[in-house]
Structure formats: structure tokens, C-alpha cells
């Protein structure tokens, strides 16, 4: 099997590539990436033995050129991840870029199977356990772009018989995570990480290794998984326990600031306005108040029963590994 991975130098994509290289001949893997210079920073064994296809999702000719690799499957992890980016920019990369990928696949590699890495952020804001049948109502522009990219894929499945599977992970944690945990750790160190309602809210995370495991399971069971959507997760943890574990692993003892949920939500709204005026992102916004102040629980029974998915990443192990890497790289 020949595989192409978009976004292979990113956090999610690099975890998938690392897992693939443990199972496949590097010559069977192609990385569709914008900047080959980023490869040296990944420290992944055998990655230099893969095929490098330089291009950009918004550059349609480069995608058509990439299809000359004739991949049997494509794992689409490339995306602009930024809750402060303009909707126009998010749409250009995440929605129109996905459309470009699909058009190039249908035109030049129609037998390729596509795995799209989406997000649980496409669901509505409800406190009950969320399954794949839960109504979709993305909260911010980033997750709206992920929802719309899903619709592009689903339309191609219906109208053009595209073979594809959508994976919906929650927040991802693991090696090379310079976004989620890096920002959380910096906020904790700077006493800017509030415990909303005492940190009782339960968060759901997936380890980078488990996300890669789910993608590989879909590849191995693509006939079962075709044109289906799966939630995936590794562990659940309260915000308070996350704060305490992260503080412990960083070797610091800083009492957290505590906020009432509704006051934090108002503060997040004000912070957004100030950030837009100053043209500078703020640490606090309404989405993050929702994320850290309300339970977000997801049902992954579908991928467990249909594909045999069994996560192996635990909260303490994953937090420890991630923070150790961030410290080693002088990121925190």
C-alpha cells in the first residue's frame, strides 16, 4: 500500500507519520508538505527516506503533481489551526484546500481512499455524552471551517462516490505539541490559567499515538470504515487534575486563580473585543471558557465495536511525556 500524508510536518501529521514508519517501508510513504526544512526538527527515524512532495493545499497544480505518486490512501491532516485567524483565511486553507485535494483525487487518483482528520469541535455545545449522531453546531470560525470541510467530503462521497472516512478527535496531546499543552503550561506558569468553577469540568483528550493508531485501523479496515464518521479519544480528566498534574511535572507550586463560569464568560467576551482592537490575541476567550468550564464527554463506542479501537495513552503518561518534551526543547 502506498500512502500520502498531508501536513506531515505538523503536530498531528507527524505523529501519524511516525506510527506509519513503524509498520511500512518508507518508500511507500509520501509527505505532502509546504516546507521540507521542517523535517529535521521532527527527529523521526527514517522520515528522510520517504517521498517528499512539496506543495500547498491552496495551490491546485501542486496537488495534481502530487497525485503522480499514485497513492492507495491519503491521510489528510493538514489544516490551519488558529482560533484567532479570519474566517476567510480558515476557509481558504481548510475548506477550499480540502476541495482542491478532493478534486485532484477524483481527477487523477480516483481509487484512493481518504482519511480526513476533523475535530469534535464540530458538535453543538451540550453537556451530555456526544456521539456521532449528535447535532452539529460549531462554535467558532476554526471549527466552522472543519465542519465545512467535512461537508465537502460528504458531498463528494454522495455525488462522486469518493471513498473516505472522517475521524473526529478532541484536543490532541503528545510529542511535538507546541499548541495545546504548551499554551496551558505557559498559562499555568504565568498564573493566567483560571480554574473555572473550581476546575470540576471534565475534558476529553486523545494522545497523538492513539490518533495515529485510529488512522491505521481505518486503513486496515477501509471497507468497513468507508463513508463513515468516528469519534476517538484516549482519556478524560478534570481541569483541576490537569492543572495539578501539569504543575507537578513542571516542578512548580502556584495556587490557581478561580473564577465563576459566568464571570469568566463575560471576561472572555471583553477580552475578545480588546484583542480585536489591539490586533493581538488574548489568552482568554469565550471558546476557551466553554472548553475549560463545561464537561465535554464523547462516545467512542462506534470505532471500538466496528474497528476494535483500544486507546493506550493514559492521562499521567501522556502529560508527563508531553511536558518532558516541551522542557527539553525549551518551549516552556
- pLDDT tens figures, 237-268: 999 999 999 999 999 987 888 888 888 889 88
- pLDDT tens figures, 294-315: 898 999 999 999 999 999 999 9
CA atoms within 13 A on the CB side of 80: 24
The mean-pLDDT minimum among 84-88, 197-201, 242-246 falls in: 84-88
Question: Residues 77, 7: contact at Cβ < 8 Å?
Answer: yes
Question: Residues 83, 287: contact at Cβ < 8 Å?
Answer: yes
In this predicted structure, what is the pLDDT of residue 172? 96
Residue 280 in this model has a pLDDT that exceeds 80: no
In this predicted structure, what is the pLDDT of residue 192? 83
Which CA distances in Å does 186 have to 25, 179, 181, 189, 298?
A: 39, 11, 8, 5, 27
Residue 283 in this model has a pLDDT that exceeds 90: no
The mean pLDDT value of the chain amounts to 93
Instruction: Take residue 304 and report the three cell numbers written for it.
Output: 471500538
Question: Is the CA virtual torsion 49, 55, 61, 67 positive or negative?
Answer: positive
- Average pLDDT in the 40-63 region? 93
Most confident of 35-49, 131-145, 147-161: 147-161
CA 98, CA 79: separation in Å to the nearest integer?
9
308: exposed, middle or buried (Cβ count in 10 Å: 0-12, 13-18, 19+)? exposed
The pTM score is: 0.93
Question: Residues 254, 260: contact at Cβ < 8 Å?
Answer: no
- pLDDT tens figures, 176-193: 998 889 999 998 998 888
CA 219, CA 222: separation in Å to the nearest integer?
5
Any idea which architecture 3-177+205-233+296-311 has in CATH?
Answer: 3-Layer(aba) Sandwich (3.40)
What is the residue extent of each domain of the chain? Answer: 3-177+205-233+296-311
Instruction: Take residue 271 and report the three cell numbers written for it.
Output: 477580552
Amino acid at each position: 500500500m502506498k500512502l500520502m500524508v498531508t501536513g506531515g510536518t505538523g503536530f498531528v501529521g507527524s505523529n501519524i507519520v511516525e506510527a506509519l514508519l513503524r509498520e511500512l517501508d518508507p518508500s511507500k510513504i509520501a509527505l505532502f508538505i509546504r516546507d521540507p526544512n521542517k523535517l529535521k526538527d521532527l527527529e523521526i527515524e527514517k522520515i528522510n527516506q520517504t517521498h517528499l512532495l512539496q506543495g500547498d493545499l491552496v495551490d491546485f497544480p501542486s496537488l495534481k503533481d502530487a497525485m503522480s505518486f499514485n497513492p492507495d490512501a491519503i491521510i489528510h491532516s493538514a489544516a490551519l489551526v488558529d482560533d484567532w485567524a479570519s474566517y476567510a483565511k480558515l476557509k481558504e486553507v481548510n475548506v477550499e484546500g480540502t476541495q482542491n485535494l478532493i478534486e485532484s483525487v477524483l481527477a487523477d487518483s480516483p481509487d484512493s481512499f481518504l482519511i480526513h482528520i476533523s475535530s469534535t469541535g464540530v458538535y453543538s455545545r451540550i453537556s451530555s455524552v456526544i456521539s456521532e449522531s449528535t447535532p452539529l453546531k460549531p462554535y467558532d470560525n476554526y471549527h466552522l471551517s472543519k465542519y465545512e470541510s467535512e461537508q465537502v467530503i460528504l458531498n463528494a462521497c454522495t455525488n462522486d462516490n469518493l471513498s473516505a472516512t472522517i475521524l473526529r478527535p478532541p484536543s490532541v496531546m503528545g510529542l511535538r505539541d507546541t499548541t495545546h499543552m504548551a499554551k496551558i503550561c505557559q498559562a499555568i506558569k504565568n498564573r493566567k490559567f483560571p480554574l473555572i468553577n473550581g476546575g470540576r469540568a471534565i475534558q476529553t483528550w486523545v494522545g497523538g499515538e492513539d490518533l495515529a493508531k485510529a488512522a491505521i485501523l481505518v486503513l486496515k479496515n477501509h471497507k468497513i470504515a468507508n463513508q463513515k464518521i468516528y469519534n476517538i479519544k484516549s482519556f478524560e480528566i478534570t481541569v483541576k487534575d490537569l492543572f495539578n498534574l501539569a504543575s507537578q511535572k513542571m516542578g512548580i507550586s502556584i495556587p490557581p486563580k478561580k473564577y465563576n463560569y459566568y464571570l469568566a464568560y463575560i471576561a472572555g467576551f471583553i477580552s475578545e473585543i480588546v484583542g480585536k482592537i489591539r490586533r493581538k490575541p488574548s489568552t482568554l476567550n469565550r471558546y476557551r471558557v466553554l472548553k475549560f468550564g463545561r464537561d465535554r464527554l464523547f462516545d467512542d463506542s462506534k470505532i471500538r465495536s466496528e474497528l476494535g479501537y483500544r486507546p493506550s495513552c493514559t492521562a499521567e503518561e501522556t502529560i508527563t511525556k508531553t511536558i518532558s518534551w516541551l522542557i527539553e526543547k525549551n518551549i516552556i
